[in-house]
Chain A
């Protein structure tokens, strides 16, 4: 009798420390081993769970590796034409101003074919959140040069390395957008270490908070990997990201209308400022 009682007590004391977020569907994703899409999907889902907004959230997925994201999130999702996610999100948000609308876009989608939609959604201060996956390559189509491919980077369509004379310079999206009125938050993060993952989660949370507060357009750029098309193992990809991507795309807060432009600039200049500007909310 006493043994049974103890067993009940011990069960009640158990706590769930880790589980699948409610906002993430219970399906196997198509992402390659070592790809960071899975981490970022999870962070977005965790934030939406934390804010308890899955019932009023509408996501817009792009064309690119995350084209199937509509299958992976447990809330209403629209699949947009290549690059047009900010326009689709604009139509959704203007029609349902009380909803929470975000786009999830890769570098080709956001910074090449969809640059006009991106810049003008930012200029209008659309109250949407943009999760921008920058892995410096077109993944879905098999490894072509992206608008964010690094100088000298070898891809299927830059087989001799990206030649700046011929192909121009990679675009630094957060730096570009931070100069625009209408942008409430522009922050670059990565997910190569547990600390960086936690900081990325805080940044994503802040981006959704700013939308909910009606402050304007918020974008979180996540420096990401593509082991398959970089031709590297998962481990080596993280190393390549740190050694090549982060020097060109420094982490930091490039615009935060709450912190003020000066503070944001200082944070960006501080190098690894993945945690800059965050009070910490976990």
Chain B
């Protein structure tokens, strides 16, 4: 077992990326992800990597497009307003079937919003990460260790399915320090990319990175081909953690930092004899449909806990499909709920109340 080191989430993401064979980074400063870019700026040049601070988020994501087209493992990182600027480029990456890792260390919004932790970009990440018919894989860690572990998986999934992948974290996870066990540095085998633009060397047909198909039939065919890859992703790549769900009357569903608070709340009410459990989706797209479906016959109530006005709860409702009650509790704008707040909500649900509440207001 490797030695554990104490690292900030943002730094752990950067180090894990380098250890996964990513030596190319383009970014732009924004709070609360800046430690990630700073780590790359220090670590990449001595190992012959490319770190470049772009003139904008727009330029950064298009540099990512160029580097990905060249066949290298490449990433960028930002926070909510910056990710909005990257959406154009993400759509082009999707359209040209180019892999890339995009980190979103979320902060509260809309607009400039604040710089405190938030989960208000769930819809953007999972439903509307750019114009057109397209999706990206979205992974949501809840500890610094998991931030480390998901990076290599994100790169591998991107290469396997030729799609951008996002790690959706938040300012709490990005800024907090926890002990982590880093992956080994050797033994990373990067896949062959015969489609890459490396110069044809007069030895093969030319390659193109292109998202444009003016012939509607050709465009529809290309989208259908991609959609069939999405079906495989939905079937094979769902990731979730279940905690005390076997006998849970009330199942909380929460991801990322919100899941840490939810887990503490589950422990509190369990001590009082309320049988609560937690499903923690790790893959947000594909959404953890299967594990929730398995829970529907077991639980009478589901409670989504988010740092938002309620976004993932829509996906939860789609799975539960009216068969059981679905509740929501959240805080937004950078406020993190306490375990006591959540525990109180669970008690009210156990007493038969229907909860749809943000902060202390019911809707």
Task: Determine, out of A90-98, A147-155, A188-196, A237-245, the stretch whose residues face the partner at the interface.
Answer: A90-98
Is B66 in the interface zone, CB < 8 Å from A? yes
B61 to chain A, nearest CB (A): 8
Task: Determine, out of A35-43, A73-81, A266-274, the stretch whose residues face the partner at the interface.
Answer: A73-81
In the complex, are the beta carbons of A95 and B210 less than 8 A apart?
A: no
> Which among B58, B71, B74, B206 has the greatest number of chain A C-beta atoms within 10 A?
B206
Q: Which residue of B lies closest to A98 (CB)?
A: B199
Q: Which residue of B lies closest to A30 (CB)?
A: B214
Task: Determine, out of A1-9, A12-20, A55-63, A204-212, the stretch whose residues face the partner at the interface.
Answer: A55-63
In the complex, are the beta carbons of A81 and B70 less than 8 A apart?
A: no
> Which among A88, A89, A96 has the greatest number of chain B C-beta atoms within 10 A?
A88
In the complex, are the beta carbons of A79 and B211 less than 8 A apart?
A: yes
Contact of B55 among A73, A93, A95, A117 (CB under 8 A): A117
CA distance A93 to B52 in the complex (A): 12
Task: Determine, out of B88-96, B106-114, B232-240, B338-346, the stretch whose residues face the partner at the interface.
Answer: B88-96
Is A87 in the interface zone, CB < 8 Å from B? yes
Is B182 in the interface zone, CB < 8 Å from A? no
Q: Which residue of B lies closest to A89 (CB)?
A: B66
In the complex, are the beta carbons of B202 and A90 less than 8 A apart?
A: no
- Please indicate the chain B residues that have their CB under 8 angstroms from the CB of A75 in the complex: 199-200, 206
In the complex, are the beta carbons of A74 and B92 less than 8 A apart?
A: no
Q: Which residue of B lies closest to A96 (CB)?
A: B70
- Please indicate the chain B residues that have their CB under 8 angstroms from the CB of A258 in the complex: none
B283 to chain A, nearest CB (A): 27
Is A109 in the interface zone, CB < 8 Å from B? no
Interface positions, chain B 56-99, Cβ under 8 Å from A, are 56, 58-60, 62-72, 74, 88-89, 92, 96
Is A67 in the interface zone, CB < 8 Å from B? yes
CA distance A60 to B26 in the complex (A): 19
- Please indicate the chain B residues that have their CB under 8 angstroms from the CB of A120 in the complex: 54-55, 59
Q: Which residue of A lies closest to B73 (CB)?
A: A95
A53 to chain B, nearest CB (A): 8
In the complex, are the beta carbons of A80 and B206 less than 8 A apart?
A: no
In the complex, are the beta carbons of A70 and B210 less than 8 A apart?
A: yes
- Please indicate the chain B residues that have their CB under 8 angstroms from the CB of A57 in the complex: 199
- Encode B301-328 as 1/0 by CB contact (under 8 A) with A: 0000000000000000000000000000
Contact of A79 among B26, B60, B74, B208 (CB under 8 A): B208
- Please indicate the chain A residues that have their CB under 8 angstroms from the CB of B88 in the complex: 81
CA distance A94 to B64 in the complex (A): 11
Is A54 in the interface zone, CB < 8 Å from B? yes
Is B150 in the interface zone, CB < 8 Å from A? no
In this complex, how many residues of chain A approach chain B with their Cβ under 8 Å: the count is 35
A139 to chain B, nearest CB (A): 15
In the complex, are the beta carbons of B67 and A95 less than 8 A apart?
A: yes
Contacts known (A60-B66, A84-B59, A92-B66); A76 close to B210, Cβ less than 8 A? no
Is A134 in the interface zone, CB < 8 Å from B? no
Interface positions, chain B 127-142, Cβ under 8 Å from A, are none
CA distance A93 to B50 in the complex (A): 11
Contact of B66 among A55, A56, A95 (CB under 8 A): A95
Interface positions, chain B 186-234, Cβ under 8 Å from A, are 197-203, 206-212
> Which among A54, A78, A84 has the greatest number of chain B C-beta atoms within 10 A?
A78
In the complex, are the beta carbons of A87 and B206 less than 8 A apart?
A: no
- Please indicate the chain B residues that have their CB under 8 angstroms from the CB of A89 in the complex: 66
Q: List 19 A-B contacts (CB under 8 A).
A: A55-B202, A58-B198, A75-B206, A76-B200, A77-B208, A78-B210, A79-B210, A81-B62, A84-B59, A88-B66, A91-B74, A92-B70, A94-B52, A94-B66, A96-B70, A96-B199, A99-B199, A116-B55, A117-B58
A residues with a Cβ closer than 8 A to B are 54-58, 60, 67-68, 70, 73-81, 84, 87-96, 99-100, 116-117, 119-120
B residues with a Cβ closer than 8 A to A are 24, 26, 50, 52, 54-56, 58-60, 62-72, 74, 88-89, 92, 96, 197-203, 206-212
Closest 7 CB pairs of A and B: A91-B66, A87-B62, A56-B199, A95-B70, A91-B67, A91-B63, A120-B55
